[in-house]
Structure 1
Amino acid sequence: MAAPLPAASGDDPCFAELIARRPHLSRHALDGLVMEEVPLARIAEAAGTPTWVYSAGALRRRLGLLRRALAEANLAATVHFAVKANPNLAVLRVLADAGAGADVVSEGELRAARAAGIPPSAIVFSGVGKTEREIRLALAEDILQINAESAEEVEEISALAAALGRTARVALRVNPDVDARTHAKITTGRSENKFGVAISDAAALYARMAALPGIEPVGIAVHIGSQITAGMAPYRAAYARVAALVRELRAAGLPVARVDCGGGLGIPYRDEPAPLPEALAGAIRGALGDLGLPVMLEPGRWIAGPAGVLLASVVREKRGATHRFVVVDAGMNDLVRPAMYEAWHGILPVAPEALVAPLSPAGVVGPVCESGDTFARARALPALRPGALVAFLDAGAYGAAMSSTYNARPLAAEVLVDGARFAVVRDRQGYDALLAGQRLPPWLGREPGS
């Protein structure tokens, strides 16, 4: 029998609690931390570090839980994964094979969704800044729906579609002026946010859409923010306003085929309470159920966040005047959420002996030349020698997708685990690739590397 895991100090969950809450992770007495059936140490040996590692089983499971909750609420619903959370083609293919469509916000995401095998009939294009080129691509692909976010965008879609002899299926995204009570940088449904049309202006603009050439109005869309953990009240308020709008449109004889309910359902990174998909399904059913319309959801983080970890190696431990620092080879250029949002991520040692060793407080920092390159402060961790592996939990959403090459640090590799199998699904960026595309102008002489 494996030795019991030590308790964490302070209010942080202990290693045992962190592992128990993530069914795709387990602890083996010989292999240490394991994802599905693959020891993370084996992945580090094969792919190096830092490396993003995703559980296909967790992706399928979480998508299935959400779809089941919607079905049990008697909702005719489709799920369109928010590609911005994780655009890796292997992740998208796993979800597509499990029945998900895609919610995209750029040409690159649309192309990624198509490359992963997601059909145009399951793709929604959202976003406040779609360019003419992007609208043309959406029309050429004949995607399921474009979510228009302004009167100006509606006019542009109409003109482009009419010129191309096509009809765009357009939903109008409304801003319900509802505070989702989430981080200020990821709220999207308040009147001061850039997203959507003021709900007071929506009926008139929807009528205008119905009169324009090249547009088929198909419904109303709403999305109030990301990482919503404050309960269902914000959702209920937003959906109630959408329901009232739908009734107003119907009373005016305007067609409404569906409601796009957005996403934003939060996850517990630490040990905070987070609403379950059954609660979201109930909120949708309560506000929109009597309309008799199919609904769409666009989750990203809830599906992919817990399914991934960022695997890193310890460079060294550094003893400061008053603090112990664990320096790892992953930086804020890899996982920016702690620096950007003051976000908390669980950090687990990978080696079996480290999981049961005595703990002491440590700051966990990366190599980037910024004081903000700090993943944790006073985190209870064992002594970690150079080369020891650690896993940053819940890194499957807005991890690799938001990474950069700051400090000229190449992008990390990405690996997919599926049962006892694993494969590199994105190669680690090499230094030649990092410099590719750069050149000196003729007046500065030699090209780089020549």
Structure 2
Amino acid sequence: MTFRPASHYINDSLHIDADILVSALPYFDYIDGVLHIDGVSSLELAKQYGTPSYVYSQRAILDNYQAYSRAFASLDHQICYAVKTNSNLAVLKSLAQIGAGFDIVSKGELARVLQVTDGKKVVYSGVGKTADDIEYALNADICCFNVEAVSELDTISQVATRLNKTARISLRINPDVDAKTHPYISTGLKSNKFGISHQAAVQAYLHAKQLPYLQIVGIDCHIGSQLIDIQGFSDALDKLIELIDELKSHGIHLEHIDLGGGLGVRYIDENPASVDDFAKLLLPRLRKLGLKLYLEPGRSLLANAGVLLSRVDVLKPTEFKNFAIIDASMSELIRPALYEAVMAIIPTDTRNAREIHTWDIVGSVCESSDFLGKDRACGLQVGDILAITGAGAYGFSMACNYNSRPRPCEVMVDDGSHRLIRKRESLADLWRDEII
């Protein structure tokens, strides 16, 4: 077998940086050389539940939520978890039980939330709400619609009038602020499809004021995701404050301000701002406003609370590249293929010294874009179990059945105990709803 030798790579995470990376993850530790997730051996989890498997720490999720609650405790506030991040019912129920609200972007997400709580803490975002979606949300008595277009105001008013129900609305403003993130997850520029432009906002509010069965309660923005530089939040807040003051001159007085989510996390070597730093930046101006604050975090609650466990199935060294083919793929974790995201991939067992080589860690899907990590210096053998960190967010929620691959199971770990929270799909599940 011909191997490409290892050299130094900035994103080397599988051998040299494993201990450093794990030290930044709450409730993830190496005990006697084996990766443990909140007191449970990852090797035992892989043995019992198989691979690939998503594994989440419940305590890490709840701690991340509480960090927001503590940081903004001096304000009347509601933290609304962004359901698109990870919509498993066990995750939603855990958050609902400690007071979380929910930010949704579809009727399906609302239906999920209604399985664990009522609609009163739900804010409904999203650019393409239909009349059917709006009726479903009004009947669920949601807290607020985050409206993204003037035509949406008309549709909400028409449905609300027909149902004889008042719709509480907030307008999502596009502040044209550069979030300095990947263009696919930037949402606050004027070139993005989201929100109503800052220039058109006042006229949109005046239009809403004239429509029947609408109650104007708030103003909203969301500028992007995985934001390492939090200055964009500050710039967006300043623009919203300008609008709030102008709206008062038109007799429109708001009850809340919603600054969305998007706070970044560490995947490899990022240095994101803490929730406390985020709060310190915004709190002085928010206190002066005197409005209730809504926030919609997702990634920062779930990403580093979860891993994707995967087994090495094939080692394929070549003259040009060494390929380690694992049983996870872009079907289970599409972020590297879609966003060129660099995810940490660490060993679950460090007890045996291995010769280090440089590998591209890939899946078996028939696409050249099917990779989980490139140029990783590590020692590997067939059968090794690897942990892809950061997979709690946008892992299962973006998973698919491409190449007719059954989706993995999901497991929740909590202080030494563990339980299945979603069964692994079977082959029969792949065609269960098809009609021959």
Same fold by TM (over 0.5)? yes
Q: What is the identity, as a one-letter code, of the residue corresponding to 2:369?
A: G
Q: What is the identity, as a one-letter code, of the residue corresponding to 1:47?
A: Y
Quote how far apart the aligned CAs of 1:118 are: 2.7
In the alignment, the residues of structure 2 paired with residue 322 and residue 211 of structure 1 have an alpha-carbon distance, to the nearest angstrom, of 67
Q: 3-state SS of the aligned residue for 1:135? A: helix
The residue aligned with 1:20 is 23
Quote how far apart the aligned CAs of 1:323 are: 2.0
In the alignment, the residues of structure 1 paired with residue 252 and residue 432 of structure 2 have an alpha-carbon distance, to the nearest angstrom, of 52
Aligned residues, how many?
A: 427
In the alignment, the residues of structure 2 paired with residue 287 and residue 222 of structure 1 have an alpha-carbon distance, to the nearest angstrom, of 16
Q: 3-state SS of the aligned residue for 1:217? A: strand
Instruction: Tell me if the contact between 2:170 and 2:218 (Cα under 8 Å) persists in the aligned partners.
Output: yes
Question: Is 181-190 or 345-354 further displaced after alignment?
Answer: 345-354
The residue aligned with 2:399 is 403
The residue aligned with 2:372 is 375
Matched, 1:92 2:72: no
Q: What is the identity, as a one-letter code, of the residue corresponding to 2:221?
A: V
The residue aligned with 1:200 is 199
In the alignment, the residues of structure 2 paired with residue 177 and residue 97 of structure 1 have an alpha-carbon distance, to the nearest angstrom, of 36
Q: Which runs of 4+ in 1 moved over 6 A?
A: none
Matched, 1:384 2:381: yes
Q: 3-state SS of the aligned residue for 2:218? A: strand
The residue aligned with 2:77 is 77
Quote how far apart the aligned CAs of 1:288 are: 3.0
Instruction: Tell me if the contact between 2:230 and 2:263 (Cα under 8 Å) persists in the aligned partners.
Output: no
Q: 3-state SS of the aligned residue for 2:69? A: helix
Structure 1 residues 298 and 8: CA distance shift in structure 2, 3 A: farther
Can you give the 5+ residue segments of structure 2 that lack an aligned partner in the other structure? 1-5
Aligned alpha-carbon RMSD (Å): 1.4
Quote how far apart the aligned CAs of 1:93 are: 1.1
Instruction: Tell me if the contact between 2:80 and 2:296 (Cα under 8 Å) persists in the aligned partners.
Output: yes
Post-superposition Cα deviations, 1:214-241, rounded to whole Å, max 9, x if no partner, equal 1100010100001111x22211111100
Instruction: Tell me if the contact between 2:118 and 2:140 (Cα under 8 Å) persists in the aligned partners.
Output: no
Post-superposition Cα deviations, 1:201-256, rounded to whole Å, max 9, x if no partner, equal 11121122122111100010100001111x22211111100011001111221120
Quote how far apart the aligned CAs of 1:98 are: 2.1
The residue aligned with 1:443 is none
In the alignment, the residues of structure 2 paired with residue 376 and residue 37 of structure 1 have an alpha-carbon distance, to the nearest angstrom, of 27
Q: What is the identity, as a one-letter code, of the residue corresponding to 2:98?
A: A
The residue aligned with 1:431 is 427
Q: Where in structure 2 are the equivalents of 1:297-308 lying within 5 Å? A: 297-308=295-306
Post-superposition Cα deviations, 1:349-405, rounded to whole Å, max 9, x if no partner, equal 112425x544321110100011111111110211222x2110100100011000110
Q: Where in structure 2 are the equivalents of 1:219-298 lying within 5 Å? A: 219-229=218-228, 231-298=229-296
Matched, 1:33 2:35: yes
TM-score, normalised with respect to structure 1: 0.92
Q: What is the identity, as a one-letter code, of the residue corresponding to 1:281?
A: A
TM-score, normalised with respect to structure 2: 0.95
In the alignment, the residues of structure 1 paired with residue 379 and residue 29 of structure 2 have an alpha-carbon distance, to the nearest angstrom, of 18
Matched, 1:162 2:161: yes
In the alignment, the residues of structure 2 paired with residue 233 and residue 255 of structure 1 have an alpha-carbon distance, to the nearest angstrom, of 27
Q: Where in structure 2 are the equivalents of 1:334-353 lying within 5 Å? A: 334-353=332-351
The residue aligned with 1:309 is 307
Q: Where in structure 2 are the equivalents of 1:137-216 lying within 5 Å? A: 137-216=136-215
Instruction: Tell me if the contact between 1:8 and 1:15 (Cα under 8 Å) persists in the aligned partners.
Output: no
In the alignment, the residues of structure 1 paired with residue 9 and residue 435 of structure 2 have an alpha-carbon distance, to the nearest angstrom, of 52
Structure 1 residues 235 and 8: CA distance shift in structure 2, 3 A: farther
Q: What is the identity, as a one-letter code, of the residue corresponding to 2:325?
A: V
Quote how far apart the aligned CAs of 1:146 are: 0.7
Question: Is 343-352 or 8-17 further displaced after alignment?
Answer: 8-17
The residue aligned with 1:45 is 47
Q: 3-state SS of the aligned residue for 2:253? A: coil
The residue aligned with 1:362 is 359
Instruction: Tell me if the contact between 2:7 and 2:358 (Cα under 8 Å) persists in the aligned partners.
Output: no
Instruction: Tell me if the contact between 2:9 and 2:376 (Cα under 8 Å) persists in the aligned partners.
Output: no
The residue aligned with 1:413 is 409
In the alignment, the residues of structure 1 paired with residue 117 and residue 178 of structure 2 have an alpha-carbon distance, to the nearest angstrom, of 33
Question: Is 273-282 or 52-61 further displaced after alignment?
Answer: 273-282
In the alignment, the residues of structure 1 paired with residue 428 and residue 158 of structure 2 have an alpha-carbon distance, to the nearest angstrom, of 43
Q: What is the identity, as a one-letter code, of the residue corresponding to 1:391?
A: A
Can you give the 5+ residue segments of structure 1 that lack an aligned partner in the other structure? 1-6, 441-450
Q: 3-state SS of the aligned residue for 1:259? A: strand
What percentage of aligned pairs have identical amino acids? 37
In the alignment, the residues of structure 2 paired with residue 283 and residue 152 of structure 1 have an alpha-carbon distance, to the nearest angstrom, of 35
